[in-house]
Structures are given as structure tokens and as C-alpha cells.
Structure 1
């Protein structure tokens, strides 16, 4: 089990280790997580790596804002084109276009900042049980097998797909047999194996992991999921703010809520805390949650 976890994390790091094609031009590979197109977190994480490789050492990403423009083709590489928008003494900005088949599939603007002292305040961490004793997603999916006949055949592989991130929901939600509940959820997560001590890499991995479960939060009041027949779901945009150094190979709590859904779109928000209650990131995302007729 340990060897498998290490292999999954090594594969994720390989995805984030982009090939250099030219100055400010990179190429990344994709992995099939069982969906119909490239996982949005993968594209955002790779775009973050591409942008980071073009800034001055010591400048770390403090925010990113991205739009998912087209579905990604899992069978083809993705080219990342970085544009230098600004280099200042404290801040730097980069625009990244992820390109496939000659067209952008994702567009991101990221800002980088050198470390500075300043005023500090934060929202309190929710009081929830710790990750120890909670069932992981890998364990929960075995409990869902009896409901596989309700899932479109094209999506059944996604149920059994293992990933490099250990996800442990405080209150599990069966995506194959969803009930209706309040639009909020709490999920502990971490990489399944140790990562190199590189803060820029940890922020790229967090960008990748921040796309898990977020859109799901907007589905909770409606009793539907990605696996519900007729549902069409996709991330539309994604914003992420880093508030301080973090370690994605240690437990982090993702506290998510959805303030509203309308016009086939749902808005989800998230706060990410360390085990000791420090707020290290904030997230917001709007996603498509459309039920197709016929």
C-alpha cells in the first residue's frame, strides 16, 4: 500500500514537472482520472508551475485566477505559454495560456510576492473531528459498488480510480446515491506520500488538490452528483489565494460552502486550514451544474 501511494505521488510530481520547449513555453502530460476530459486541477496546477518557473527565486504565488475555456484532451499534451505582465520589486504577474489543438483550454493570471511582515488576522477554524478514524475516499468507494448499476457505463471507471491525494470527508456523501443536505462540507486531505521541501511545489500541488470536492458542494442541496444520469458538470473558473507557507503532505482541512446556485451555475467557496488552525489558503469557484433533457 505504501509503495502504491508513493507511486501515485511520484506520478503526480511527474505531471507537474513540465518539459521546457523554449523560453516561457512548456509542455505537460495528462492523466485520466475517469472523467470525460482532463481534470481541471491538473491544468491549473501545471499552469501554476509554468508561471512559477519564470519568476525570480524567492517570489511565491499568492493568488491565481483562471478560466476553464474548453475541455482538455487527455490523449494529447498541453502546451503552456507564459507572458510576463510585470516584474516589480515586491510583486510579479504572469499570464498563462494552456493550449491544445491550437486553441486555449485554460487561461490564468497569477501574482507572486516576496515575503513581508504585515498585519495578521484570520477566520477561526471550524470545530470538526480530526482525520484519524475517518474513512478515506478509497475506502468509501468500495461501499458504493452496489450502486454502480445506476451510473452511466462511461463513468464507472471513475469510481474505482485512485489518486495521489488522500481525501477524508467529515460527513461522507455517497456520490452514487446522493441525498439532499445543506451546501457545506469539510474534507481533510493530504498527499499520500512525502513531498520535496519546496514551497513553490507545495503551492502547485495545493492548486491541483483545491479542485476536488469544491463543485460538489453546490450540488448537495439538490441530491445530484457528477454520476447522476443526465448531469453535465464542469468548472467554469477558479480562484485561489495563498496566505502563508503550507505543507500538502501534512493534513489540511478544506472547509467548503456554497452561497447560491442559479442559471445552471453554482458558486462554491473554501477555506483551507492546517492541523493547528492556521488559515493557509482561500478558494472560490463557479461551476456548471446543468441537467440535460432527453
Structure 2
């Protein structure tokens, strides 16, 4: 995938009737289906069953089995409740007889209320000061570990610019923090909020577990640690545009027992808090 339209083509599912939807997968450089894709496709299915005026405000999910890139995924939506203000849906993703993923999500009608938010980090480097993944591949590709070089070589519909550049050849422990600017490639204007939330959910599964790896980076890396998303939750607050860079600011409070936990906030460049994310992931050291 190289731009926003190709991403939307993957996220938009085929309606096969009775609240069932089919979707295909794309390789992003890992051996299994990308968790962000399953999350976003599940939301696409759920959104197709709720009243038009209701907007997603939260989701909670579990990844049960690794998805096979060669097989289609079928999403079944259960209508749990449609109340006066909220609608709740449960989505189950299947490949053949295997259930690979479950999602619960809630939609809310628009209402007015009190407001506050946590501010964006002060004095954080701006995207124009930073290298993108493509820039890093171009400048340092000869020196990068084989797996990292292969991962960065995959064409994606999103540009990522990490604030903290880590030298993979200088293994040392780092703070449990990751800040990454991101921006969609191609035309992202005139998108409905429902579509923007699906895209943001797709993006939210990138980068987040890196914060769990950082405190042990002197001995642990992507090459010797088995990593996978176990669960994923999000809360959505405000409308936003993809026309400018956005910041995903992540920290990891804890890693223990071959699992790492990370949480973060997603901001527009002007500091508007759009969403919060929490994820626990597998962090299993590989035995030699």
C-alpha cells in the first residue's frame, strides 16, 4: 500500500449479509496479519450496523490467534444494545473455523458537556526537524540489521518520523518513552469522522510496543524478542484532520512476565487531544 486510497480499499469490507463482512489482508513486513488492520476492519464492520448519527467513543479488544495473510477474514457483528444515547456492538473475526480476534465497541450520540485535556509535550521536536523511516533507510540502510532494513523497505500509506532516533548498533537501555509524528500519504481531505477513526485505529498499532522494549534495549531487540499485540483499547474524543502531522506520545509503565504494557495519547500538531490508546503485548525473549 502506498497511499490513503489503497489503505481505505483494504479497510472497506465486503457485505455478505446477516451482519457478516469479508476482508483481505496486506503484508506490512511481519509474518502474520497486522493487528491494526484487524482492528480497523472490525470497526468498519461495526460502523455499518449503527445509526449514522452515532460516533465511536471507545473500543476494547483481544487478539486470540495470529492471522494468516493468505486467507480472507470474516467479521460477524452482534448488535448488543441500542439505547437512547449509546449503541454497543460485539465483533468476532474468523478465518475458517478459527476465531482470531474479538472486539467490543460503543457509539455515542453527539452531546455537549464540560471539557479539559492533558496538554501536548512542550518543546518537542517538530516533523521538519526529523528523519522519516524512508529517510533512515536511505541514509543508514547499509548499516541497519537485516530485519530492520527489510521492515523499513515495505511501502506504507503512512509516513512516520520518530522523535527519539535509536542507533540499533549501540545497544543501551533507554527511557520507556516513544514519541512519533505521523502523516497519511495521498489525499486525506473530505473524510468522514467514522473513516478517520478507522484509519487512526489502524495507525495506533504501530510503534506502541517499542516503549516496552526500550528499558531493556541493551539486551532485547526486535530480532531476539517475540512480540505480538495481546489486547488493545482506545478512547476517542474530538474530531480532527489528517492534513497535517499528528503526534503519538507513548510511555510504558511496566514490563513483566513476558508481557509489556504501554499507553499513549494522540494529538494534532496544534495540541488537540484526539484519542488515547492502551495495549499489552507479548514480550517473550527467544531462546538461542
* CA distances 1:149-192 after superposition (whole Å, capped 9, x unpaired): x446xx76323112111111112224576542100021111211
Where does residue 184 of structure 1 map in the other structure?
Answer: 177
Which stretch shows the higher mean deviation, 31-40 or 174-183?
174-183
Q: Normalised by the size of structure 1, how large is the TM-score?
A: 0.92
Q: Please tell me whether residue 124 in structure 1 is matched to residue 111 in structure 2.
A: no
| CA positional deviation for 1:211 | 0.6
Where does residue 160 of structure 1 map in the other structure?
Answer: 153
Is the contact made by 1:205 and 1:248 (CA closer than 8 Å) also made in structure 2?
Answer: no
Where does residue 242 of structure 1 map in the other structure?
Answer: 236
**How many residues are paired up?**
284
Is the contact made by 2:14 and 2:22 (CA closer than 8 Å) also made in structure 1?
Answer: yes
CA distance in 2, matches of 1:190, 1:61: 22
Instruction: Determine which of 99, 108, 112 is the counterpart of 2:103.
Output: 108
CA distance in 2, matches of 1:249, 1:176: 35
* CA distances 1:64-114 after superposition (whole Å, capped 9, x unpaired): 001010000011111010000110121000000111121111100000011
CA distance in 1, matches of 2:170, 2:95: 35
Runs of 4+ in 1 over 3 A off after TM superposition: 174-179
**Alignment RMSD:** 1.7
CA distance in 2, matches of 1:237, 1:180: 25
Where does residue 135 of structure 2 map in the other structure?
Answer: 139
Where does residue 251 of structure 2 map in the other structure?
Answer: 257
Is the contact made by 1:38 and 1:72 (CA closer than 8 Å) also made in structure 2?
Answer: yes
* CA distances 1:29-76 after superposition (whole Å, capped 9, x unpaired): 100111010110000010011111110001111110010100000111
Is the contact made by 1:180 and 1:220 (CA closer than 8 Å) also made in structure 2?
Answer: yes
